[in-house]
């Protein structure tokens, strides 16, 4: 990792997480993330809200063509679901219809969001691993990095190496401006053998997570509150 990419590590337990079902995004998200807040979605490729009809109505002609011409139909479907879901959650934040959200692709897999209701900056990133789609939205600059655990890599050194690689990928995706940014790397509690890291150029004090399995301690806390 280049010396200019300074990434301080945060585990999921270092930041307060609020867990919601995927379906509750409609009632829980009404505005863009506040400063120091990140909204995250963990979405399977067969997410039922991203139906064929929704994909056809919400995606742009270029996005539909990109999915249709993908050499792997499953990956083309995954892209369609990711883009439709991104438009869905952004429409809740901006108070508009999903197809009205401008989602433009720029070099380096950068995604730029535009809409008349956008005040300030909304930064988004989307990453994939297997059947899983991760979507991140914040008011700060962000990047997602996902790596897959090699067979038999169970020791602490191997796990740290995976985290470093995921953080490097995330920082590379996030380097929208000057390279000597101090990044904060938030570990994501991914399923299976996936290591996920979200890098943010400002400290994170709250996460709203949709689709993640609620940890046992969070279940107990919710039941007692």
The per-residue pLDDT string of the chain (225 residues; one tens digit each, 9 = 90 and over) reads 444 567 889 888 899 999 998 877 666 788 889 999 999 999 999 888 888 888 989 999 999 999 999 999 999 999 999 999 999 999 999 999 999 999 988 877 788 888 887 777 789 999 999 999 999 999 999 999 999 987 666 678 888 899 999 999 999 888 755 556 788 999 999 998 899 999 999 899 999 999 998 875 554 344 444
In a domain, 144, yes or no: yes
Is the Cβ–Cβ distance between 106 and 129 less than 8 Å? no
Both tokens assigned to 149: 């655990």
In a domain, 75, yes or no: yes
In a domain, 206, yes or no: yes
Q: What is the pTM of this model?
A: 0.89
In a domain, 76, yes or no: yes
Is the Cβ–Cβ distance between 136 and 144 less than 8 Å? yes
In a domain, 175, yes or no: yes
Note down the domain range covering 102.
6-224
In a domain, 27, yes or no: yes
- What is the domain count for the chain? 1
Is the Cβ–Cβ distance between 206 and 39 less than 8 Å? no
**What CATH number is attached to the domain comprising 168?**
3.90.470.20
d(CA 156, CA 201): 26
In a domain, 1, yes or no: no
Name the burial class of residue 218, with classes exposed (0-12), middle (13-18) and buried (19+) by CB atoms within 10 angstroms of its CB: middle
């Amino acid at each position: 990792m280049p010396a200019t990419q300074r990434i301080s590590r945060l585990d999921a337990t270092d930041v307060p997480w609020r867990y919601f079902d995927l379906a509750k995004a409609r009632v829980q998200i009404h505005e863009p993330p506040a400063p120091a807040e990140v909204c995250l979605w963990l979405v399977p490729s067969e997410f039922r809200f991203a139906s064929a009809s929704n994909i056809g109505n919400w995606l742009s002609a270029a996005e539909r063509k990109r999915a249709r011409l993908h050499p792997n139909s499953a990956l083309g479907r995954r892209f369609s679901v990711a883009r439709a879901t991104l438009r869905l959650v952004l429409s809740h934040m901006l108070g508009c219809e999903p197809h009205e959200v401008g989602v433009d692709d720029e070099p380096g897999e950068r995604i730029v969001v535009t809409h008349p209701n956008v005040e300030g900056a909304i930064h988004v990133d989307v990453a994939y691993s297997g059947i899983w789609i991760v979507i991140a939205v914040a008011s700060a600059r962000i990047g997602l990095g996902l790596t897959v655990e090699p067979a038999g890599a169970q020791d602490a050194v191997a796990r740290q190496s995976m985290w470093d690689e995921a953080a490097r990928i995330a920082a590379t995706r996030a380097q929208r401006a000057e390279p000597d940014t101090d990044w904060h790397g938030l570990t994501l509690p991914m399923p299976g053998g996936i290591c996920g890291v979200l890098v943010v150029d400002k400290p994170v004090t709250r996460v709203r997570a949709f689709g993640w399995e609620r940890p046992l301690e969070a279940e107990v806390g919710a039941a007692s509150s």
